[in-house]
Structure 1
């Protein structure tokens, strides 16, 4: 289950930023244990959809571009990026509240928990899924109750089905921007699922002035020799202060 690697990394890094204040989080409407909607046994259709996206996508088409080196014009390969093609490939990540991308966001928010029992993968909706106040909101002087996988800032008014739909719509609404930003930073969003999931998660958590800096920060981290979780963690932190250095 290699897709669990992406989920665990996004969850670990997404929660790290709020771990110190997590003790302040309190539930306002926990679901009863007997409610069958609290734990979802993910179907083979869910799993196959996840696996198909985690699998390496087709090699991107390349085109030749001109660059001048030492006075001579040379043709060098350049990665071709088609936004519509990329959207078609990645939209399924956020299509429903149990799609891979939405699960990653939900786990990072503390609203989902994944576990395996008797060779079946389960997705548990935590108490926070059904209503909680975020410490981050309190720090801004706002008091709102969040619902659904993405912590919807109260937009659904407590209607869980509406919260699930709105979370997916919001994630899909930001996807084009995220794909373009990753490509502009030199990261192939179709091949680097970990970068894409972290970009989407940060978009859900932070203001655009910070979240849109994540791709640039990640590329800087990698150019500096950082890899894996270290690069992701550095970039997520740097995206909040990189504007101050400009």
Structure 2
């Protein structure tokens, strides 16, 4: 997926939010760790209304626009950026097209890319709904968290999106709310079974982007931490995840009254 560089201007309130959540995460470690395997879940008994499916009914649906914005392929108002048509993923060098950055699955055809993106996204709805419900979260009453969960399915390893529901419930139990809870859950969802946060390495993935001194946005904000330390990993992931959740939040604010 495309890890889009943020602009040079850093809003003070956003900076304080990131620092406060980072400190919270370091001082209070996660209750449970992410499993590296995908457990078997019966998706056929999942019960929910059609409202969640309507978020991804077509390429103009709000959920699609939210993921497109999170990827950097759309502006907040839905207009396509140049990245929508073609870009090379800086994390793994694959060619991306379409609203979800399709990793080459649609070939060179944008229609195929978007169709594949939509099919792949829809295919995960029953599983993630079930996981949210099992964690005590009603996805229909937590639409923003639900879309963030699907965005992680689009962006990262399946273990990450599978872990988000429990992490989001943990965040709420810790007293975090709103975007703070979503950010904490999104970052902690990258934690492996052995307790280590993992988002690639020095050669591929988000960590390779954060470790590259040419990516000055990340480098300047992470220079206070020892590279690949727990704090460096947490804040590297948080910088990227905060950008994505902010894009989703702005799309929802614009389209859902």
TM range (shorter): 0.5 to 0.7
What is the Cα deviation at residue 84 of structure 1? 4.1
- Matched residues in 1 for 2:138 and 2:109: separation? 37
- Matched residues in 1 for 2:48 and 2:185: separation? 27
1:95 aligns with 2:57: yes
TM-score w.r.t. the length of structure 2 is 0.58
Q: Deviations over 1:113-148 (max 9, x none)?
A: 024xxxxxxx211000001011222xxxxx321000
What is the Cα deviation at residue 206 of structure 1? 0.8
Structure 1 moving runs of 4+ over 3 Å? 18-22
Q: Deviations over 1:74-97 (max 9, x none)?
A: xxxxxxxx73433x2211111211
TM-score w.r.t. the length of structure 1 is 0.60
- Matched residues in 2 for 1:206 and 1:199: separation? 11
Q: Is the 8 A contact 1:21 1:135 kept in 2?
A: no
Structure number having the greater strand percentage: 1
Q: Is the 8 A contact 2:4 2:71 kept in 1?
A: no
Greater CA radius of gyration, 1 or 2? 1
- Matched residues in 1 for 2:56 and 2:75: separation? 17
Ranges in structure 1 where 5+ consecutive residues have no aligned partner: 1-13, 23-81, 116-122, 138-142
| Count, aligned residues | 160
Give the secondary structure class of the aligned counterpart of 1:213: helix
Pairing partner for 1:135 from 63, 72, 90: 90
Equivalent position of 1:159 in the other structure: 109
1:148 aligns with 2:98: yes
Q: Is the 8 A contact 1:130 1:147 kept in 2?
A: yes
Q: Deviations over 1:211-230 (max 9, x none)?
A: 11001101101100111111
RMSD value over aligned CA atoms? 2.4
Equivalent position of 1:85 in the other structure: 48
Ranges in structure 2 where 5+ consecutive residues have no aligned partner: 8-44, 197-257
Distance 1:172-1:241 versus aligned 2 partners, 3 A rule = same
- Which one scores higher on RCO, CA 8 angstroms, separation ≥ 6? 2
Q: Deviations over 1:15-55 (max 9, x none)?
A: 9xx45699xxxxxxxxxxxxxxxxxxxxxxxxxxxxxxxxx
Q: Is the 8 A contact 2:4 2:72 kept in 1?
A: no
- Matched residues in 2 for 1:144 and 1:181: separation? 30
- Matched residues in 1 for 2:67 and 2:4: separation? 16
What is the Cα deviation at residue 245 of structure 1? 3.5
- Matched residues in 2 for 1:243 and 1:193: separation? 28
Pairing partner for 1:241 from 169, 175, 191: 191
